[in-house]
Structure 1
Amino acid sequence: MVIGSKRTLVFALLLQFAASLSAHAQSCSVTSASGNYGSVDILAGGAVDTTSTFTVTCSGCALGCTVNACVQFNQGAPNSSSSVRSLGSGANTAIHELYTDSGRTQVWGSWGYGTTAYGSGGVSINLSLPLLGGPAQQTLTVYGRFLANQQSTIPGTYVWSTASPVVAYAAYLLTSPNCSSNPGTTTNAGSSPWTATIAGNCIVSTTPLNFGNASLLTSNIDGVGTISVKCTNTTPYSIGLDNGLHASGSQRRMQAGSSFINYNLFTDAARSGAWTSTTSATTCTSGANTCVLGTGTALIQNVSVYGRVPPQTSPPPGAYADTIVVTVTF
């Protein structure tokens, strides 16, 4: 009889514990995990990394228990492809990705619980809840990367929208639920947008204009130089030239010691459009053909500079030179 009573007591305690676990339902919440890549130099072509942190909090076990939480990030929107995460700016997209590790080798995906599936799954954590149902929490870091080699992306403010992180959770006593099978209740952060700003930009380089050697300046001497411009896709730009270091009024001059040679720069091979400065990206402020206008393609665009030394009194022998400032307005 004593042994039987002990068995009955143990059985009753087990029933009471199970009833208590069921009567005090667990609940979990998750904070937003928004991210910002800042201003992306798209022409540089490199990756841009950032991080975001968020917290998973669970409570509700009066006698204490462990909660398994399956933390997921879905594909988000816009969905330009089932295999990538895209940020959007109107009809334009750029690609970024979220990872579980700082080396950015493991994509943080979703098993599809309470959201859409993406990749091979998310991250599983276990939270030990204390007696009397007090909360337990864990802060996690998600590692974002704006992917490299997207130079043709059109400037704009890009946003990736998602309700992630999404957490599927369940309490357990001995064996943790497997996140590869539905663990139970789900909750989400509501909104965790990620943003990137791509500003219009241009890069410029030049090759010298060389008039060669001459002994007498009795006829025109022509030369051609090159300006190489690379601007962001669809960005309008203009190229203006100043009058150089040794100008007399608007007349450009090359100098050697105290002597000068007059020369001129033109926008066309016929040397009819004198090249001047401009302050607008879309028009030549000194008149038609006084600058060069273009639209960026994210590729290098070469522009010729047509130079001419007109007939003039021949100066003393020497190496004559000048420096012109090239201004790209965009």
Structure 2
Amino acid sequence: MPSWKTLRLLPLVLMSLWPTLGWGQSCSFGVSALSFGNVDTLSGAQANSTATVSYNCTGILLQRILICPNIGNGTGGATAAARQMLSGANSLNYQLFSDAARSVVWGSYAWAFPARAPAIALTLGVLGSGSGSATVYGAVLGSQATAPPGSYLSAFSGSDVEFRYQYSSGSTCNTGVGTIARPSFNVTATVPANCLVATQNIDFGPQGVLSANVDATGTVSITCTPGNAYTVALSNGLTGTGPTGRLMTLGGESVTYGLYKDTNRTQPWGDPSTPGSTVSGTGSGAAQNVTVYGRVPPQTTPSPGVYSDTIIVTVTY
């Protein structure tokens, strides 16, 4: 038969354990770096990446903790439309979101814009602890072709990262209530030097006897990142011997023609093997159109037919 002493000790043991579970709550946080890597600004497309917020909390068992991970401007600054990363005086627009569709901006109760932090609810387990994670969805906005090459950064620390937490049944993060934690993280991107090229064919049209010059033009369109120096070279074609000795062919017959940089057809446009025959420029982020001046000089007329050649355009930057 059990003694009354043993039965009376049990409540005392339970009560002595209760303080070790803790009446207050304590949370620790980590935020991984958000790196976009190389961003092709000339494509016009949005570039996406993610970061992870991790949290670990202790407190009263089975209690619900509301976490409000407020994220502000960062060192790059922000407007109502976007946050910015900086590379010197140059900026690159991006944004942080709380959803995979990148439609809900991840904000803060403490900044000047409408977006607020997402509310994260964590219910502690029977041992008075709990953990979890949330994803930060980042996007470098498209249509930023004028962003110069460089390494871009926005750092988040101090007042820009105010994670608040408290016991609460609430579901919004509109006020600055709760215990504060301030993890730090960086958002980075690299805009590499880049160029795009497009061409318009040169068509000399239908001709009879080749007894006089036949002129026509085409276009090379170059789009390079701002400040990016480039040169444009034109190959000698499939069987040509130089800028003015290119050949359009049909079977074993040919028509000699030349490509030039000027409307008077006095400056041949070739490749680096012909000194001074390439075209140079500096990128602005916008398309720069350069006219190619073609000429078929007087020559012995070959058999009727369609004569053609293929030129390789090489942009060096």
TM-score normalised by the chain length of structure 1:
0.81
Q: Please give the secondary structure, in 2, of the residue aligned with 1:123.
A: coil
Aligned partner of 2:227 among 234, 238, 252: 234
Separation in 2 of the partners of 1:252 and 1:226? Answer: 18
Does structure 2 conserve the Cα–Cα contact (< 8 Å) formed by 1:75 and 1:118? no
Does structure 1 conserve the Cα–Cα contact (< 8 Å) formed by 2:38 and 2:191? yes
Pair 1:312-2:314 in alignment: no
Aligned to 1:166: 162
1:41, distance to aligned residue in structure 2 (A): 1.9
Matches within 5 A, 1:241-256: 241-248=234-241, 251-256=245-250
> Which ranges in structure 2 are unaligned for 5 or more consecutive residues?
1-14
Aligned to 1:287: 275
Aligned to 2:289: 302
Matches within 5 A, 1:1-330: 24-61=23-60, 65-79=63-77, 81=79, 84-112=82-110, 119-130=114-125, 133=128, 135-163=129-157, 165-171=161-167, 176=170, 179-190=173-184, 192-248=185-241, 251-278=245-272, 286-288=274-276, 290-330=277-317
1:85, distance to aligned residue in structure 2 (A): 0.8
1:249, distance to aligned residue in structure 2 (A): 6.5
1:178, distance to aligned residue in structure 2 (A): 6.5
TM-score normalised by the chain length of structure 2:
0.84
Does structure 2 conserve the Cα–Cα contact (< 8 Å) formed by 1:98 and 1:107? yes
Q: Please give the secondary structure, in 1, of the residue aligned with 2:84.
A: strand
Separation in 2 of the partners of 1:212 and 1:35? Answer: 55
> Which ranges in structure 1 are unaligned for 5 or more consecutive residues?
1-15, 279-284
Separation in 2 of the partners of 1:158 and 1:326? Answer: 32
Does structure 1 conserve the Cα–Cα contact (< 8 Å) formed by 2:223 and 2:285? yes
Q: Please give the secondary structure, in 2, of the residue aligned with 1:43.
A: helix
Distance 1:248 1:313, change over 3 A: same
Separation in 1 of the partners of 2:241 and 2:136? Answer: 61
RMSD: 2.8
The count of residues paired between Structure 1 and Structure 2 equals 300
Separation in 1 of the partners of 2:270 and 2:121? Answer: 69
Does structure 1 conserve the Cα–Cα contact (< 8 Å) formed by 2:44 and 2:142? yes
Moved over 6 A (4+): none
Does structure 1 conserve the Cα–Cα contact (< 8 Å) formed by 2:62 and 2:126? yes
Does structure 2 conserve the Cα–Cα contact (< 8 Å) formed by 1:221 and 1:310? yes
Does structure 1 conserve the Cα–Cα contact (< 8 Å) formed by 2:199 and 2:220? yes
